[in-house]
Structure formats: C-alpha cells, structure tokens
Structure 1
Amino acid sequence: MRTELVSESGDPARPNEDFAALALPASGQGGTLIVLDGVTPPRGEYGCLHSVPWFCARLGGALTELSVSRQDLALPEVLAHAIRATARAHADTCDLSHPRTPQATVVLARWSETVMEYLVLSDSVLLTEAPDGTVTAVLDDRLSRLPRTSLVTDAVADATVRNKEGGFFTAAADPSVAARAVTGTLDRGAVRALAALTDGATRWTEKFAEGDWKALFTVVRKEGGQALVDRVRALERADSERRVHLRRSKTHDDATVVFVEW
C-alpha cells in the first residue's frame, strides 16, 4: 500500500485550518482517512473562545479514534458522536448556537478487506479510482448549487444559508448534521486508489479548469500531492487580480491532499 499526506497553509502568517489523518489499525487489516477543512470565520465576535485549528484538532482526533475503534458504527454515526464530543468540550464557555461557531467540511473513508465506506459533507472532495482507471468524484454539491447572491462575499451573509434547510451543511455543534452527508459503500475490490482533497487543492479543477477529476487524480498519482498544491499556488499567483471572476474568497487557501493506493 502507498499512502501520502500533504497539507500546506495558504498564508504562512496564519495557522493551517485543515486537518488530515491516516489510520492503519494494528490488526493490519483496513484503514481510515480523515480530511477536514476548517471554515475561516469573519473578523470579529463569533461566539467561541477557541480557534478553528483547535476545533479541527478536536473533531479530527475524535473521528480518528472512533472510526478505528468503533467498527460497529456506520460513518454517519461516527461523525455524530465526534461532533457531540467536540461540542461538549466547549459548551460551557462558548455560544455553540452562533451560526459561525467553529465548523469544518468533512471527508471520511474507511475500508476493510472487503468493503469501503465513505462520507462527504460540504465542499471537500473524495475521488475513487476503479481498477479500469475510471475516476469518480464523490461530491456534496449543495454549496455550489446556491445562487451567487446567497454566497459569502462579505463573510457574514452566508449565515442565512449555512446549516439551514435549502442551504448547505458543515460539521459544527449539531450532531444531526451527520445525516445530511453524502454517504455510500463500495466493494473494496472496485477501488484501486482514492484521494481526499480540500477545496484549496481542488481549485486546480474547480476554479482554474486545468483538467477534469481524472486529470487531477493522475497528477497526484504520478507526481504527488505536493506537485498538485504547487501547481495551484502558481495559478493563484498568476491570477491574483481576478479573484471575483474565479469566485475565490481569498488569493490562497489551505490545501490538503491525502492519497491511498493499494
């Protein structure tokens, strides 16, 4: 098995708000990957004493432990338990009802010798490759389907559609959001490799249109996750004045790539 994990901050002056983990149980059978993209809050008060990296470390740690130790739980249950545990850790000090309480997108994949389960919540992406080379994108596209006028340009307006019916959903403090995730199960033999990416890395396809999902997957397999991130950074630098046209809320974003190949 080949595994790779790359995560790079979009701004050296700011902490990386992504979280990524690979867990290979001591039994030697199966494994889990976790990718979170922490949601950068608007400036000012957002109801919580804690940073987004603190939240992602808590949630990511809980997801890692539960997805490995609780094989009896389906992935939506794993996510619900992890959200609940993370909420308990700061419920006494923070306003968890605030629409911009710390939150994150989620990609989970867990595999055994026979089955691979997956879960995607919000705009991070899971790519799976079949033995014949077919690449399939598992997407939660609710955010991208919203009218542009509903989306954030001032970082506050999206409170009207965030974690709301008819809007889009992220992992914050309400465990019931786990039921909103895109989930599924594949025969393990039908998956030769997979990649999980935050939207800072998928910009290569989604914002700059440099290639489709199969082309992006090929870059990661042949050149590595860092090569994809480097390509994104070069495109961002070359196009720093066209952020509105490309619907980019910031010039550079944290970028994470996790790759697994059997």
Structure 2
Amino acid sequence: MRVETASEPGTPTRPNEDHVSLMLPASGRGGAFVVLDGVTPPEGDVGCAHGVPWYVGRLGGALLELAGSRREMTLAECLAEAVARTARAHRSTCDLSHPRTPQATVVAARWDEESVEYLVLSDSVLLVEGVDGSVRAVRDTRLDALPPGVTALREAARALPSGSPERATAAAEYVAAVEALRNAPDGTGFHTAATDPAVAALAVTGTVPRDGVRALLGLTDGASRWSEVFRAGDWADLCALVHKEGPAGLIARVRAAEEADPAGRSFPRGKPHDDATAVLVELPDRSDA
C-alpha cells in the first residue's frame, strides 16, 4: 500500500492554510484521510482570535478522528459533528456570526474491505481511480455556477494591470460579491464548512465498491491548478503524474507553471500562488489481502 502526502504554502512568508491528515489502522485493511483548504479572508476583522490555520487544524483533526473511529456515522454526520465541536472550541472567545469567521473546503474519504465512502464540499477535488484505469473526479460544482454579474466582476478585475490600484479596487468588489454567495442563508450560492453543522448535508457524498478502486487522490484547488487552471492535462493525466512523481512532484509542476506566468496573463487566477496540498492512497489489491 502506497501513501504519500505533500502540502506547501503559496507564499513562504504566510502560514499554510491547507490541512491534510490520515488514519491507517495497523491491519492495513481500512483507513481514512481528510484534506481541507482554509478560506483566506481579506485584510481586516474576521471575528476570530485564532485564525484560519488553527481552524483547519481543529476541524481536520476532529473530522479524521470521527471518520476513523465512528464507522456507524456517515461522513456527512462526521463532518457535522466536527463542525459543531470546532465551533464549541472557540464560541466563548470569538464572533462566530461574523461572515469572515474561519472556514474551509473539505475532502474526506474512508475505506474498508467492502466499500469506499467519500465527501466533497466546495472546490477541492477527489479523484477516484478505478482498477480499469478510469479516473472519476468527484467535485462540488456550485462555485463554478456563479451568477453572470459576479463572473463579470471577476473578468473585469483580471483585465486590469496586475498590482494597480484599479485592480485592487475591482478585486475587492468581486470578493465582496462572492462572500455574499458563500453560505448564503437562502441556500443559494456555494457552501464551506464554517460554524453551522447543517452544511454537511449539502456536501457531495457517495459510496462505491472497494473492489473497483485502485487509488484515491485528494487535492486542494492549489494543487488541482495543474489541470483546472494551467490545462497541462486532464484528470487521468494528473493521476498518472502523481503515481509517477508523487504529490510533491505535482506541486513542483504547479509552482513552475505559476512562475512562468506570474501576472496571470496567460492563465488568469485569483492568486499568483496558492497553498497546494495533495494526498495519494494506492489501495492494495484485494487478492493480496
């Protein structure tokens, strides 16, 4: 069984707001992993004294513990409880009603001898590679379906010179429009794990037979840029690259692509560099169990 992870901040001077953790029982016949991508808030008050890295560490740790030890709970139920636990951990010190309270995207997967269960919330990605070589991307596509007016604000900001005051102003307007759609109380827009356990019921979830799965690959959007932003290959190509070069090799290729287009002219994106995390689990052949 091969298991590899890599996680790297987008900027060395800023803390990594991604999180990855795994649980692999000694028997080798089951396990779980969690990948979170913390949402970087704009400058200013966020209502929390702890910050995004603290939040993803607490939420990721709680989710992994529940996913690994509470097999009678679904992953959505585990996420709901993990969100509730994390909220309780700082409700007495922080304003959890603040719209910029720490929050994160979520990928979780767990497996045993019979099945593989998964959960995806927001724009991180889970790749499920079949024993036949096929690769299926499990994605929450709601963030892709922004209203035309919000998309227009994004394109207008990206068309302005990088580093200019005009672009900063336009980008702030776009960010505000996106924030209004994140975890909107009317259920529209898109969703991240923040303080409300009910968001877990909105995640993309499913279960597939263990016999049909060769490998699982969890990616934050900083790592999936290789396919989604830089278009260096499709999901099957990305999976093949990680099998060959490992998660660290994928991130190195993303960094090279970012450096080759620092201003985002050829490949427009929200940040020149982003935190990037990947975890690869190659499941053992059942015949070897």
Q: In which range does the TM-score fall when normalised by the shorter chain? A: over 0.9
Q: Which of 1 and 2 has greater Rg?
A: 2
Q: How does 1:158-197 map to 2 (within 5 A)?
A: 158-164=178-184, 165-197=187-219
Q: Partners in 1 of 2:279 and 2:105 — Cα distance?
A: 15
**Does the C-alpha gap of structure 1 residues 219 and 70 become closer, same or farther in structure 2, counting only changes over 3 Å?**
same
Q: Identity over the aligned pairs, expressed in percent?
A: 59
Task: Note if contact 2:261-2:267 (Cα within 8 Å) is conserved in structure 1.
Answer: no
| TM-score after normalising by structure 1 | 0.96
Task: Note if contact 1:42-1:156 (Cα within 8 Å) is conserved in structure 2.
Answer: no
Q: How does 1:117-132 map to 2 (within 5 A)?
A: 117-132=117-132
| TM-score after normalising by structure 2 | 0.87
Q: How does 1:73-92 map to 2 (within 5 A)?
A: 73-92=73-92
Task: Note if contact 2:264-2:272 (Cα within 8 Å) is conserved in structure 1.
Answer: no
Partner of 2:274: 253
Question: Residue 223 in 1 paired to residue 276 in 2?
Answer: no
RMSD between superposed Cα atoms in Å: 1.3
1:219: how far off?
0.4
More helix by share: 2
Q: Partners in 2 of 1:256 and 1:148 — Cα distance?
A: 30
Q: Which secondary structure state, in structure 2, belongs to the residue aligned with residue 171 of structure 1?
A: coil
Task: Note if contact 1:20-1:60 (Cα within 8 Å) is conserved in structure 2.
Answer: yes
Q: Which secondary structure state, in structure 1, belongs to the residue aligned with residue 207 of structure 2?
A: strand
Amino acid at match of 2:229: K
1:201: how far off?
0.4
Partner of 2:111: 111
Point out 4+ residue stretches in structure 1 off by more than 3 angstroms.
none
For structure 2, list consecutive stretches of 5 or more residues without a partner in the other structure.
155-170, 284-289
Q: How does 1:1-262 map to 2 (within 5 A)?
A: 1-147=1-147, 149-150=149-150, 153-154=171-172, 155-164=175-184, 165-242=187-264, 246-262=267-283
Q: Partners in 1 of 2:57 and 2:2 — Cα distance?
A: 25
Q: Partners in 1 of 2:259 and 2:148 — Cα distance?
A: 24
Greater Cα shift, 102-111 or 142-151: 142-151
How many residues are aligned here?
261
Greater Cα shift, 90-99 or 251-260: 90-99
Partner of 2:159: none
Q: Partners in 2 of 1:149 and 1:103 — Cα distance?
A: 25
